Amino acid sequence: MKDVRSKKVIFVAYCLLDQNARATGIAKYSGPVHEVLETLMRKKVGIIQMPCPELLHKGLDRLPYPRNWYDNKEFRRVCRRCAQQVVKHVMRYVENKYQVVGILGIENSPSCAVEVFQSEGKRVKLVKSKGIFIEELLEEFRSKGLNNIPIIEMHLNRRRIKTTCKELEKLVTSLEL
């Protein structure tokens, strides 16, 4: 029997495969984000679900809070443990000659956004930054010399999701060359 695996994988934010895990009132899909699944399936990329620090920290029944609410030692410790787990998983694939296509974050997440805007202090000044889990993940990647793994942000609004999926498809295609 012939082994037909693609040897390509992508690590995705937990809620891209399960919108039920999002904070109350912000899920945009009833289950997985099907456009992401369809794009990755079409390109024959294995999908690995990363842990959700917010779910581990506050559970399923939680309200949506901004990034600065989560930015504390306790939550960073949860994010760091999750990041260490993901990096170990990534390294296993890399060591076995798999291609890690990238990390797929999600817009406006205090944990998994690649670019999130937050208010700073009492003033309504918007500051661009990464989600806390993504920051910890980047730090773990740097410490292990894994600086070449792309991190992509998935936009879930109906107008932008098609564009983001096309960008994801282009990335996978460019790696096939």
Q: What is the mean pLDDT of the chain?
A: 92
Is there a contact between 152 and 103 (Cβ–Cβ < 8 Å)? Answer: yes
Q: Out of 59-63, 84-88, 169-173, which region has the weakest mean confidence (pLDDT)?
A: 169-173
pLDDT digits over 4-50, tens only? 999 999 999 999 999 999 999 999 999 999 999 999 999 999 999 99
Residue range 8-176, CATH number: 3.40.50
Higher pLDDT, 115 or 84: 84
Query: Which tokens belong to 91?
Result: 């390294």
CB atoms within 10 A of CB 175: 15
| Predicted local confidence at residue 31, as pLDDT | 95
Mapped onto helix, strand or coil, the DSSP state of residue 99 is strand
**pLDDT reading at 68 higher than 70:** yes
Q: Provide, rounded to the nearest whole percent, the portion of the chain with pLDDT above 70.
A: 93
Return all residues near 126 (Cβ < 8 A) that are at least 6 apart.
117, 118, 119, 120
Give me the residue spans of the domains in the chain: 8-176
- In degrees, rounded to 5, the angle at the alpha carbon of residue 14 between the alpha carbons of residues 61 and 138 is 120
Please state, as a whole number, how many other Cβ atoms lie within 10 Å of the Cβ of residue 150: 15
Structure-token match 């817009």, residue found: 107
Residue written as tokens 């995705």? 12
Task: Using the predicted structure, report yes or no on whether residue 77 has a pLDDT greater than 60.
Answer: yes
- The three-state secondary structure class of 140 is helix
DSSP state of 51: P
Six token digits for residue 103: 């990390």
pLDDT of the residue at 89: 97
Give the mean model confidence (pLDDT) for residues 75-103: 97
Q: CA-based diameter of the chain, in Å? A: 64
- pLDDT for residue 127 is more than 80: no
The pTM of this model reads 0.92
DSSP string, 105-146: EETT-TTT-SSEEEE-TTS--EEEE--HHHHHHHHHHHHTT-
